[in-house]
Structure 1
Amino acid sequence: MMKERFAKLLLGEDMSGGGMEFILLLPFLMSLQIFLLQPLSPQRKLMWRIEMDWLLSVTDFIVELKPSLQEFPGGGTFEVMVHRPRSDLLVNLPALKKLDAMLISILDGFHNSEFDYADRVPPSGLSEDSRKRLQLCRECTHQILKAATAINNNVLAEMEIPIASLKSLPKCEKDYLDLSSEYSALEMANSVEASVHIWKHKYLRRHSLRAKAETLLQNLRLRFPGLCQTSLDTSKIQHNKEVGQSILEGYSRVMESLAFNITARIDDLLYVDDATKKRAAAESITVYEPVRFDVGSL
């Protein structure tokens, strides 16, 4: 009953999910951050589950009307409109919950590890089996990152563009690419995304240019996975009034951030392992002094 009241309070009695301006409950979502490759404590894991259970309970009451065939008691059928979960939530929420469980499981796997953050890795580096498990975890986490990013991109693409953002879009395209830093890449992403929407809304005949710009934007995000959100995406999130989209965007963004952090921590550990093994190999080389002979004594 409390969850139902909580959901209807946020929805404003509008079961479509768009009845009121909804400021995403970031304190719920941002509570799950990791800085070390180790299992979450039982308390943190329990709190995360409770918080997500409450937040996602809102989606149980976001529905849409769909036609359905009903049978008459005496035979025959008739069509009626029935409430069903909204299609975007029906598809994306189970996927995000699965990614969530997989990431928690990956963190749980870092118990009784050969490495320790206080004492560093073993003097001789990680064993071959441990390193292979780390690389497997990294590949799995990278795939989760790609899946979460895809969901987030799809949700953002469906969000309405604020009128103020449309008016502020530049009227011309860039002539060159500057990828010398992540900052310049973000500036480029902002410009490219603006061009996509200009061509989409004003120059539909330039479909090929829009497709090239969308591909370029996707490649920028792949090359710089930690790239901040573009100005347009930030504006969409800030002005979004659709509750279901806000929840999907926030949930997928946190899964994306968590997967990225785990991947980065594994990369750090593999880098330290490589450096440790190189140092151990260098220290194990025995330096032999040249043998000197006194010719006069022979």
Structure 2
Amino acid sequence: MDLDQSTTVESTQSGSSSSGYCRTNSEISGFSEHLTDDFNSCSSETSSPVSWPVTGRSPFRPTLSRFGAIRHDHKLEKDDKLNDQKPTDLELEMMKERFSKLLLGEDMSGSGKGVSTAVTVSNAITNLYVSVFGQHQRLEPLYSDKKRMWKREMTCLLSVCNYIVEFVPASQNLQNKPSMEMMISRLRSDIDINLPALIKLDALLIEILDSFQETEFWYDEQGSMSRNSLSGSFRGAPQPQRKEDKWWLPLPCVPAGGLSETTKKHLRQKRDSANQIHKAAMAINSSILSDMTIPHSYISSLPKSGRTSVGDTIYRSMISTSRFSAEYLLDCLDISSEHEALELADRIEASMYTWRQKACSNYPKSSWEIVKEKMEGDKNVVLAERAEILLFSLKQRFPELAQTTLDTSKIQYNKDVGQAILESYSRVLEGLAYNIVGWIEDVLFVEKSMTNQQES
């Protein structure tokens, strides 16, 4: 583990583009499409990277080794040899150090004042992602040591899920005797559903990077075009349209004649696949976040009036008896920056829960869905629903929006280890997929601009 042990990267950081925190997953399952056949374009012809055992598991034992390893179908020949190597003594020592930190909750004094196990595991996955992918800023395969490190350490972190089970009743037929009902253990349903999907998405993203082992385009550090390139064929080529805070990213360069049709088709195919992966990871992350318990500290900090939180302008639009349009309201607000969008998202979310609390005051033990049915048409219910629609539209309009205050609080105070693993794993995969889409868009933009220049 090549982690800088002196650095603790909180799971709620948004980081740089290189760390993949384009959007730290606060959407409410806005992109809930299932994976389509587009994934076939980036999957190898070999067997699936996720192998499921089908026999020989006792109903009384946890589903051990179900997620025992993340098998990537590597395309680099060197990887086959590396996978057969045993961990070195140095790697074992680093694994011991990581295990110790997980047990101590990142409190090296051993006094028990560390963070919860859930937060520790979440931070570990985040730190590992930054160590492996933080400096990976190009469309090219991961270095073999980085890929091996990602596979080895994620296997260890995910192995915790083998023991997170739930008990369910089951009938067992006995010979010449009536059937007997007993309780058996199985993987907890949220892990059983989401973890295999995340492992599959992980393998597909690694495979997309592996597919760019030999390319017609290349990269140059921004501001220093290579003098060794062919006749300066890319001199004066347009640069990708990037935000000022991404100046450090290397610039893609294409030959003077542009890219071949085969390469452009390959790029578009992988872009579409990565975009589908991004949506799937986003949907999983949003679902996990929505299931997390809202911390008491957040509830106690809610404003007494939802109108005060959103402001008079938004409140008048939401309370209007005419048809409510979230898109029209956002157009009228004319939000100019992501900072303004995040501030507005926090205020809308706070007002939404304020109105929900008021609506649920008569049914304190009922869920929100039940309260909505019982109090349909109530003013607070209508306002809460419209606030939810407005928040969803805002996050769709700003896909790079950082985590809201509520999401940050949920992660910080979360005690459920299973949810912590699923949330952090889906978040980092979403960030990687988003980065891959951006890198491909950069190459296609440079190629198109170069072609337009030559035609003019």
TM-score by length of 1: 0.84
2:71 paired residue number: none
Secondary structure of 1:78's match? strand
CA pair 208-129 structure 1, distance change in 2 beyond 3 A: farther
Separation in structure 2 between the aligned mates of residue 134 and residue 57 of structure 1, nearest angstrom: 35
The answer as to whether partners of 1:193 and 1:214 remain within 8 angstroms in 2 is yes
1:77 to 169, 179, 189: 179
The answer as to whether partners of 1:178 and 1:185 remain within 8 angstroms in 2 is no
1:230 paired residue number: 404
The answer as to whether partners of 1:31 and 1:48 remain within 8 angstroms in 2 is no
CA pair 51-21 structure 1, distance change in 2 beyond 3 A: closer
Separation in structure 2 between the aligned mates of residue 258 and residue 110 of structure 1, nearest angstrom: 15
CA pair 209-92 structure 1, distance change in 2 beyond 3 A: same
2:211 to 109, 120, 123: 109
Larger radius of gyration: 1
1:111-162 per-residue CA deviation (whole Å, 9 max, x = no partner) reads: 2111000352111222222222212211111111111111101101111111
The answer as to whether partners of 2:169 and 2:184 remain within 8 angstroms in 1 is yes
Shift of 1:211: 2.9
Separation in structure 1 between the aligned mates of residue 206 and residue 352 of structure 2, nearest angstrom: 36
1:28 paired residue number: 128
Separation in structure 1 between the aligned mates of residue 448 and residue 202 of structure 2, nearest angstrom: 30
2:300 paired residue number: 167
CA pair 102-95 structure 1, distance change in 2 beyond 3 A: same
The answer as to whether partners of 1:21 and 1:240 remain within 8 angstroms in 2 is no
1:278 paired residue number: 452
Separation in structure 1 between the aligned mates of residue 128 and residue 165 of structure 2, nearest angstrom: 23
Shift of 1:275: 1.9
CA pair 142-208 structure 1, distance change in 2 beyond 3 A: farther
Separation in structure 1 between the aligned mates of residue 355 and residue 276 of structure 2, nearest angstrom: 31
Separation in structure 2 between the aligned mates of residue 168 and residue 253 of structure 1, nearest angstrom: 26
Separation in structure 2 between the aligned mates of residue 47 and residue 73 of structure 1, nearest angstrom: 50
1:178-210 per-residue CA deviation (whole Å, 9 max, x = no partner) reads: 421111111122122223322333325443433
Shift of 1:256: 0.6
Are residue 184 (structure 1) and residue 340 (structure 2) matched?
A: yes
1:196 paired residue number: 352
Structure 1: 5+ residue stretches without partners: 13-19, 283-298
Moved more, 214-223 or 148-157: 214-223
Separation in structure 2 between the aligned mates of residue 195 and residue 94 of structure 1, nearest angstrom: 36
Separation in structure 2 between the aligned mates of residue 83 and residue 63 of structure 1, nearest angstrom: 6
1:17 paired residue number: none
For residue 204 of structure 2, what is the amino acid of its counterpart?
Answer: M
2:436 paired residue number: 262
Separation in structure 2 between the aligned mates of residue 104 and residue 21 of structure 1, nearest angstrom: 28
1:285 paired residue number: none
1:92 paired residue number: 194
The answer as to whether partners of 1:178 and 1:184 remain within 8 angstroms in 2 is no
Shift of 1:244: 0.4
4+ residue runs of structure 1 moved beyond 6 angstroms?
none
Q: Percent identity over the alignment?
A: 46
Separation in structure 2 between the aligned mates of residue 132 and residue 47 of structure 1, nearest angstrom: 32
For residue 104 of structure 1, what is the amino acid of its counterpart?
Answer: I
Secondary structure of 1:79's match? strand
Answer 1 or 2: which has greater helix percent: 1
Are residue 127 (structure 1) and residue 127 (structure 2) matched?
A: no
TM-score by length of 2: 0.56
Structure 2: 5+ residue stretches without partners: 1-63, 69-95, 106-115, 221-228, 230-252, 315-332, 361-374
For residue 268 of structure 2, what is the amino acid of its counterpart?
Answer: Q
Separation in structure 1 between the aligned mates of residue 267 and residue 449 of structure 2, nearest angstrom: 16
For residue 199 of structure 2, what is the amino acid of its counterpart?
Answer: K
1:218-259 per-residue CA deviation (whole Å, 9 max, x = no partner) reads: 222222221111111011101111100000000000011001
For residue 194 of structure 1, what is the amino acid of its counterpart?
Answer: A
